Amino acid sequence: MSEEAQVELEARLAEQEEFEPSAEFVEQANVSDPEIYDEFEENWPECWERAADLIDWDDDYDTVLDDSNPPFYEWFTGGKLNASYNCLDRHVENGDKNRVAIKWEGEHGTTRTYTYQDLYREVNEFAAALRELGVEEDDVVTLYMPMIPELPIAMLACARIGAPHSVVFAGFSAEALATRMNSANSEFLVTCDGYYRRGDPLDHLDKANEGLDGVDHGVEATVVVDRLGDDGFGHDLRGNQHGWDDLLADHTGDRVDPVQRDAEDMLFLMYTSGTTGQPKGVKHTTGGYLSYAAWTSHAVLDIEKEDTYWCSADIGWITGHSYIVYGPLALGTTTVMYEGTPDFPNRDRLWEIIEKYSVDIFYTAPTAIRAFMKWGSRFPEQHDLSSLRLLGTVGEPINPRAWKWYYKHIGNEDCPIVDTWWQTETGGMMVTTLPGVGKMKPGSAGPPLPGIDAQIVDTGGKEVEAGRAGYLTVNKPWPGMLRTLYKNDERFVQEYWQEYSDTDSDDSDDWVYFPEDGAKVDDDGYITVLGRVDDVINVSGHRLGTMEIESAIVGVEGVAEAAVVGANHDLKGEAVYAYVITEDGHDGDDDLRGRIIEGVEDAIGPIARPEEVVFTPELPKTRSGKIMRRLLEDVANGDELGNTSTLRNPDVVEDIQQKVQQQQRT
Ligand code: WTA
């Protein structure tokens, strides 16, 4: 192509606002008939049998949806099944035992391959080991592990014996681990000695042990995977700690019958951040969650079992649960797992992996795409990415520029992109285009999926006009929804649900789910998600509660008060800004700043580390004493400030503004 033609093409791409999937993609897509939207609407809730049909049931369910006690909806009631059976045994039995289930790529380029038979064997052995350690049905097992194959193996082993898992992201701190184990009353932990980050071994067991010391009840047993071998830190195992390999050796060849679970039995707990300081234990069930993860993997990610599929998230977050483990394995495909970071040893690491495994479908986060963009297209250009058929993003809004870069430089203008909006609570994708059906609009996630009833409303709950910002709501239940917050039904209802009793009917349609996101919709019904409307911020796709960070900061000696907000950040999406008032007799100096950062890392983990700590004698407050966070956000973003006349102390704002500007310059 001539240079001129190239330049012209680039310009056209930059202006283009709508993209269609290629005829070739549509032809092979799992879902390609636009009628599906009407079919689901006309046949609701029975339409969800399409999802349930993707998995095997030991006993058929009697009812698709039981809405007799909203918002405590139940799905596929009366049905019995086992998630581990669905992800393993049935593929082994159906002639796919030699198909690769997990392709694991270690940071150093070491690899491990598990066929469905391999995975089946090891999951059975570990399930037998868990039983021997005393794990019983319904005991919560905490998994504090990085991206190593033993993590999905442990998840499936728990599912096999009906013990819900609670995975705690390995980057979280000891304290965060203890909080979650305490909240779930979890007496079992599976962890590892360490893992590799940017070439260096990292001590993980030390952190796990410190966490165990903070558990306020007895811990029955801990299992420790030996990941580092000779690079390890030489920890001796404690009395009730067992080596993974030893346990498996004791159970070689053992088989454990999958426990029949009720559709509504808990499959797992996943802690996530909300408005208050305490993380919430989101409860997902066996039948609804698994059906929904499988259905969205089929309809949106277009996964077929012949595919090699890669989601680059961490299993420590919901994306990894639904779209590295449960969805892809339920469908019997090959799922890739990568231990390391995208820029080690080189910035082409991900593209190298795509080429090496001939990946068909790639699912990642906008924060990663922004980094790829910054590094430049020469890295993907070093590799043959022509195996790719579909791309996806999740975790935060993607701006049209990043979308187009991804489309062109990774997808070669040939792969549809699904921009999938969803949450820990929703269990699976909710708003996105179906790649074989709809046109794509960069920056807008798309319409709600078939069967999902989403709207944008104002503060009074009335639907707003197209183009106006409002609150995103979901007006009908869906199979993948959270059922409650662990041991806290009241908080579940209060945080997420609103009942509109003034509507005409008095049925369950009155209950509306609030995800706490702002959004707008266009004339085609495409939803653009604008971001959180509560005190949750999104740093590199990681969901963090500002209150959690604040409570860590006020725990530091010398701090009197703190306010944390999210500020715009080119790569991370949002960055943590902490405004801090010191106690009398303490200076806002580098020592205190260092201790504040350390305090946050100890309480939560390095992901929550403040970008800026701004010391101030006062925080801007309303006359009723509420901190004006919006104003602090504007200051951090260098935005024009709104009306400050309602403040009790308007003078403080200018002072803070100057400090922030000064710090941002240095
Ligand atoms: C945000 C991650 C815009 C949103 C699966 C949501 C998004 C929060 C998108 C949930 C998207 C996720 N576009 N925003 N495609 N996907 N979000 O629980 O604010 O870690 O409420 O689940 O991420 O984060 P969580």
Q: Is 318 in the pocket of ligand 1 (CB under 6 A)?
A: yes
159 falls within a domain: yes
Residue nearest to atom 20 of ligand 1 (CA): 543
531 falls within a domain: no
Q: Structure pTM?
A: 0.95
120 falls within a domain: yes
Neighbours of 632 (CB within 10 A): 24
3-class state of residue 334 by DSSP: strand
The predicted pLDDT at position 424 comes to 97
| pLDDT one-digit tens code per residue, 367-388 | 999 999 999 999 999 999 999 9
Distance 121 CA to ligand 1 centre (A): 35
Of 57-61, 296-300, 643-647, where does mean pLDDT reach its minimum? 643-647
Q: At 134, is the pLDDT very low, low, confident or very high (cuts 50, 70, 90)?
A: very high
Mean per-residue pLDDT, 201-210: 97
Using CA atoms, how far apart are residues 462 and 502, in angstroms rounded to an integer? 12
Name the DSSP class of 170.
T
Ligand 1 atom at shortest distance from the alpha carbon of 536: 19
Report whether pLDDT(310) > 90: yes
251 falls within a domain: yes
Residue 163: how many CA atoms within 13 Å on its side-chain side?
29
Mean per-residue pLDDT, 613-622: 93
Mean per-residue pLDDT, 138-161: 98
541, 396 Cβ separation under 8 angstroms: yes
Mean per-residue pLDDT, 221-242: 96
The predicted pLDDT at position 637 comes to 95
The predicted pLDDT at position 625 comes to 81
Does residue 208 come out as left (phi exceeding 0), alpha (psi in the -120 to 50 range) or beta?
A: alpha
Of 25-39, 193-207, 266-280, where does mean pLDDT reach its minimum? 266-280
Mean per-residue pLDDT, 279-302: 97
Of 256-260, 423-427, 582-586, where does mean pLDDT reach its minimum? 582-586
288, 263 Cβ separation under 8 angstroms: yes
Q: Is 538 in the pocket of ligand 1 (CB under 6 A)?
A: yes
Best of 496, 514, 543, 544 for a ligand 1 pocket test (most atoms within 8 Å of beta carbon): 543
Which phi and psi angles does 320 have, rounded to 5°? Answer: -70, -35
Of 30-34, 411-415, 661-665, where does mean pLDDT reach its minimum? 661-665
Positive/negative CA dihedral, 555, 491, 178, 107: negative
| pLDDT one-digit tens code per residue, 537-567 | 999 989 999 999 999 999 999 999 999 999 9
110 falls within a domain: yes
Best of 417, 422, 444 for a ligand 1 pocket test (most atoms within 8 Å of beta carbon): 422
Residue nearest to atom 23 of ligand 1 (CA): 395
Q: Name residue 292's amino acid.
A: Y
> Of all helices (H) and strands (E), which one includes residue 275?
none
Quote the tokens at residue 24: 């070739």
The DSSP secondary structure of 510-564, one letter per residue, reads GEEE--SEEEEE-TT--EEEEEESSSEEEETTEEEEHHHHHHHHHTSTTEEEEEE
Q: At 512, is the pLDDT very low, low, confident or very high (cuts 50, 70, 90)?
A: very high
Q: Is 529 in the pocket of ligand 1 (CB under 6 A)?
A: yes
Residue nearest to atom 24 of ligand 1 (CA): 423
Strand 266-272 relative to strand 165-167: parallel, antiparallel, unpaired?
parallel
Span between the terminal Cα atoms of the chain, in Å: 45
Best of 317, 529, 535, 540 for a ligand 1 pocket test (most atoms within 8 Å of beta carbon): 529
The predicted pLDDT at position 7 comes to 76
Which phi and psi angles does 40 have, rounded to 5°? Answer: -65, -40
335, 357 Cβ separation under 8 angstroms: no
Distance 395 CA to ligand 1 centre (A): 4
The predicted pLDDT at position 502 comes to 56
Mean per-residue pLDDT, 144-161: 98
Q: At 504, is the pLDDT very low, low, confident or very high (cuts 50, 70, 90)?
A: low
Ligand 1 atom at shortest distance from the alpha carbon of 424: 18
The predicted pLDDT at position 622 comes to 85
Residue nearest to atom 22 of ligand 1 (CA): 423
280 falls within a domain: yes
| pLDDT one-digit tens code per residue, 84-109 | 999 999 999 999 999 999 999 998 88
CATH of the domain at 554: 3.30.300.30
| pLDDT one-digit tens code per residue, 618-631 | 999 888 888 888 89
Q: Name residue 634's amino acid.
A: D
Q: Is 273 in the pocket of ligand 1 (CB under 6 A)?
A: no
The predicted pLDDT at position 148 comes to 98
3-class state of residue 393 by DSSP: strand
Residue nearest to atom 1 of ligand 1 (CA): 396
What is the domain range of residue 232?
A: 50-318+336-389
Which phi and psi angles does 431 have, rounded to 5°? Answer: -125, 120
Report whether pLDDT(507) > 70: no
Positive/negative CA dihedral, 409, 415, 416, 417: negative
Domains: count for the chain: 2
Residue nearest to atom 8 of ligand 1 (CA): 423
Residue in 305, 322, 304 with CA at minimum distance from that of residue 314: 322
Compute the mean pLDDT over every residue in the chain, rounded to the nearest whole number: 95
Ligand 1 atom at shortest distance from the alpha carbon of 538: 23
Mean per-residue pLDDT, 468-476: 96
Q: Name residue 137's amino acid.
A: E
| pLDDT one-digit tens code per residue, 339-361 | 999 999 999 999 999 999 999 99
Mean per-residue pLDDT, 195-222: 97
Q: Is 367 in the pocket of ligand 1 (CB under 6 A)?
A: no
| pLDDT one-digit tens code per residue, 168-203 | 999 999 999 999 999 999 999 999 999 999 999 999
Report whether pLDDT(211) > 80: yes
Distance 415 CA to ligand 1 centre (A): 22
Report whether pLDDT(508) > 70: no
Of 45-59, 269-283, 353-367, 419-433, where does mean pLDDT reach its minimum? 269-283
Best of 296, 364, 394 for a ligand 1 pocket test (most atoms within 8 Å of beta carbon): 394
Neighbours of 175 (CB within 10 A): 19
Using CA atoms, how far apart are residues 416 and 429, in angstroms rounded to an integer? 16
Using CA atoms, how far apart are residues 293 and 289, in angstroms rounded to an integer? 6
The predicted pLDDT at position 438 comes to 85
The predicted pLDDT at position 509 comes to 65
Distance 284 CA to ligand 1 centre (A): 17
Of 248-252, 374-378, 533-537, where does mean pLDDT reach its minimum? 533-537
Q: Is 470 in the pocket of ligand 1 (CB under 6 A)?
A: no
CATH of the domain at 181: 3.40.50.12780
Q: Is 395 in the pocket of ligand 1 (CB under 6 A)?
A: yes
Ligand 1 atom at shortest distance from the alpha carbon of 543: 20
Residues 6+ apart with CB under 8 A from 249: none
